[in-house]
Amino acid sequence: MVEEHRHPFLKGLSKHRGAPPTAIVIFGASGDLTSRKLIPAMYNLAVDNLLPSDFFLVGYGRKPIPDEEYRAHAQRSVDEFSRRSMNTEIWDRMGSQVFYQSGGYDDPDAFLQLAKRLESLEKEVGRTLQLLFYISTPPQVFGSILKNLGLSGLAKRNINTPLFTKVIVEKPFGKDLSTAQRLNQVILQQFEEKQVYRIDHYLGKETVQDLLVHRFANAIFEPIWKREFVDCVQITVAEELGVGSRGGYYDQSGALRDMIQNHTMQLLSLIAMEPPVSLDPEAIRDEKVKVIKAIQPLALNVEDSDVVRARYDAGLIGGNPVPGYLDAKGIPDDSATETYAALRLSINNWRWKGVPFYLRSGKRMARRVSEIAIQFKRPPGILFSEGTRFDLAPNTMVLRIQPDEGSTLLLNAKVPGLETRTQPVKMHFHYETTFGSNTPEAYERLILDSMIGDNTLFIRGDETEASWKLVTPVLEHWSACGVDGLEKYAAGSWGPLASERLLWTNGHEWRRPGF
């Protein structure tokens, strides 16, 4: 039995850090993301007493579903996907406030009916609710939903009060610069920028949030976080999985759009940005935009290109044979889509001038891992430089995003014995060992932040356009080339040889991720 004094949500109080009474409307209510991530995230917020007492979840979709049936669907989602087991007392309280509204995404009348449903909830509790619309649908209907939120009056409701409407938009934020600009135009026709939360779940991960703490709460790091001491930076986002049942979607996207333009660029901006003047969300987002705009255009039509793309062939994953990309369901035989992309970036500012940033992401790679490696310059070859007894490696700070979240510092140490010999050693910090394994999931933090109006971990419109401005010329170049220049790599490897050559130019090599 849960004690009421420990769970204010059960008795109608709120231990929340400022969230007003809220109704969240999820467009795409029966979708995979909603079932696997969003509903379990809200349940875990309830367990942690972080939902306001007057909290409502309204699922919206085309298929008519009775409220009770949708509540049962939501309960099954919690049972199957929540990081915590079901607490029936908490769920009974939360489940009684789950509803469903059917209607088309392009039907203005359906949105008027939605507005009436929300008004009836407000009458029921006798107070005004903050409205939070979560667009978890295919991007083809983003425009219709945004337009109808505007036509129904829901978008600008209470705009001049603290309870103004908010909207969360899932990626992709366009497929190139022009479509991203058009999407931002559509959004800003109905909403003000302060109302918009462009969500990238990577920013909700604990270790991504910890990047700012690593840099700015530890005085030993920030003084050497610059070109005088850093030799290169490597960012890897690797997946073991192939395209699975997403072949049709993925073939229209590819690794550059699917991972690098968003997730990987977010990691780069946090690791490379200048210190913000405060923890104010806009101060942090200003610095992220500045560093992305400082990245130099990529060289494409030269022998020493800044980009490499490749597609996986058949190989071994975990000792088991897996087919190549062209054998996956939904992939045309003449596909020129990359499943691996690597970039060499140069940031033209005072801090990073001359320091190469290497980014790579791919499917069917040797292991699933996301990490940032800051490799420092070697000491001058005066001591410990002669003979084979000195095994030295460059000092490297590795920040692991997933899995085995934590950080490692690579140092050189003396091997015990009468002879002076050296060997690289690693100092480890693991989140699970220090803080336990039941870490909140990314969507819990992001939904919570959107309710309280903290947009630090969300992407601003000019930020997504700056990122697309960098990668769109690459996409256009690859489209013009077709399969020419599309390298191959075996599933279960770390990518094509061409990506190694990307680093050899500067005397570097890719690390093999692993603590």
Which DSSP symbol is given to 8? G
Out of 110-114, 186-190, 204-208, 375-379, pick the least confident: 204-208
Q: Are residues 55 and 135 in the same domain?
A: yes
- Residue 441's pLDDT is 86
Out of 334-338, 362-366, 432-436, pick the least confident: 432-436
Give the mean pLDDT of 250-263. 92
Q: Are residues 366 and 256 in the same domain?
A: yes
Q: Are residues 376 and 480 in the same domain?
A: yes
Residue 181 lies in a domain: no
Give the mean pLDDT of 306-330. 93
Burial of residue 352 (number of CB atoms within 10 Å: 0-12, 13-18, 19+) = buried
pLDDT at 116 exceeding the cut of 90:
yes
Q: How confident is the model at residue 11 (pLDDT cuts 50, 70, 90)?
A: very low
Residue 511 lies in a domain: no
Give the mean pLDDT of 323-347. 94
- Residue 330's pLDDT is 87
Which DSSP symbol is given to 297? P
Give the mean pLDDT of 103-127. 95
Token pair 């203005």: residue: 108
- Residue 59's pLDDT is 97
Q: How confident is the model at residue 4 (pLDDT cuts 50, 70, 90)?
A: very low
How many Cα atoms occupy the beta-carbon half-sphere of 380 within 13 Å? 1
pLDDT at 304 exceeding the cut of 90:
no
Which is the catalytic residue, given 201, 263, 430, 477? 263
Give the mean pLDDT of 131-148. 95
- Residue 514's pLDDT is 66
pLDDT at 117 exceeding the cut of 60:
yes
Burial of residue 485 (number of CB atoms within 10 Å: 0-12, 13-18, 19+) = middle
Residue 179 lies in a domain: no
pLDDT at 14 exceeding the cut of 70:
no
Q: Give, to the nearest 10 degrees, the angle between helix 108-125 and helix 142-151.
A: 60
Domain edge (last residue) among 170, 190, 222 = 170
Q: Are residues 18 and 107 in the same domain?
A: yes
Q: Are residues 259 and 325 in the same domain?
A: yes
User: Of all residues in the chain, what percent carry a pLDDT higher than 90?
Assistant: 72
Do residues 151 and 110 make contact, with C-beta atoms less than 8 angstroms apart? no
The per-residue pLDDT for range 51-87, each reduced to its tens digit, is: 998 999 999 999 999 999 999 999 999 999 999 999 9
Residue 165 lies in a domain: yes
- Residue 387's pLDDT is 59
Give the mean pLDDT of 222-249. 91
- Residue 201's pLDDT is 86
User: Could you tell me the pTM of the whole model?
Assistant: 0.90
- Residue 224's pLDDT is 93
Residue 85 lies in a domain: yes
Q: How confident is the model at residue 244 (pLDDT cuts 50, 70, 90)?
A: confident
Task: Strands of 230-352 (E only): list them.
Answer: 230-238, 307-313, 315-317, 320-322, 340-346
pLDDT at 478 exceeding the cut of 50:
yes
The per-residue pLDDT for range 147-163, each reduced to its tens digit, is: 999 999 999 999 999 89
Q: Are residues 305 and 359 in the same domain?
A: yes
User: Of all residues in the chain, what percent carry a pLDDT higher than 70?
Assistant: 94
pLDDT at 384 exceeding the cut of 90:
no
263 flagged as catalytic: yes
Task: Determine the Cα–Cα distance for residues 8 and 2; give it in Å rounded to an integer.
Answer: 10
**What's the total number of domains in the chain?**
2
Task: Strands of 242-349 (E only): list them.
Answer: 307-313, 315-317, 320-322, 340-346
Q: Are residues 145 and 263 in the same domain?
A: no
pLDDT at 109 exceeding the cut of 70:
yes
DSSP reduced 3-state for 178: helix
For 263, the domain range is 203-440+461-504
Q: Are residues 93 and 11 in the same domain?
A: yes
- Residue 136's pLDDT is 94
Cβ-based neighbours of 221, under 8 Å, separated by 6 or more: 214, 215, 397
pLDDT at 7 exceeding the cut of 80:
no
User: How long, in residues, is the chain?
Assistant: 515
- Residue 238's pLDDT is 95
DSSP reduced 3-state for 448: helix
Q: How confident is the model at residue 275 (pLDDT cuts 50, 70, 90)?
A: very high
- Residue 15's pLDDT is 44
- Residue 297's pLDDT is 96
On average, the pLDDT of the chain sits at 90
CATH number, domain at 302?
Answer: 3.30.360.10
Q: Are residues 232 and 119 in the same domain?
A: no
Residue 66 lies in a domain: yes
Residue 150 lies in a domain: yes
Mapped to the 3 state alphabet, what secondary structure does 353-400 carry? CCCEEEEEEECCECCCEEEEEEEECCCCCCCCCCCCCECCCCCEEEEE
Out of 145-159, 193-207, 336-350, 388-402, pick the least confident: 388-402
Q: Are residues 135 and 213 in the same domain?
A: no
- Residue 245's pLDDT is 73
CATH number, domain at 131?
Answer: 3.40.50.720
The per-residue pLDDT for range 157-186, each reduced to its tens digit, is: 999 998 999 999 998 899 999 999 999 999
Comparing 410 with 386, the larger pLDDT belongs to 410
Task: Determine the Cα–Cα distance for residues 435 and 213; give it in Å rounded to an integer.
Answer: 16
Among 444, 475, 455, which Cα is nearest to 174's?
475
pLDDT at 8 exceeding the cut of 60:
no
Q: Are residues 304 and 166 in the same domain?
A: no
Mapped to the 3 state alphabet, what secondary structure does 77-113 carry? HHHHHCCCCCCHHHHHHHHCCEEEEECCCCCHHHHHH
Q: Are residues 247 and 336 in the same domain?
A: yes
pLDDT at 362 exceeding the cut of 50:
yes
Do residues 105 and 98 make contact, with C-beta atoms less than 8 angstroms apart? no
Give the mean pLDDT of 204-222. 85
pLDDT at 425 exceeding the cut of 90:
no
- Residue 12's pLDDT is 40
Residue 512 lies in a domain: no
The per-residue pLDDT for range 499-515, each reduced to its tens digit, is: 999 999 899 999 988 64
Out of 129-143, 243-257, 311-325, pick the least confident: 243-257
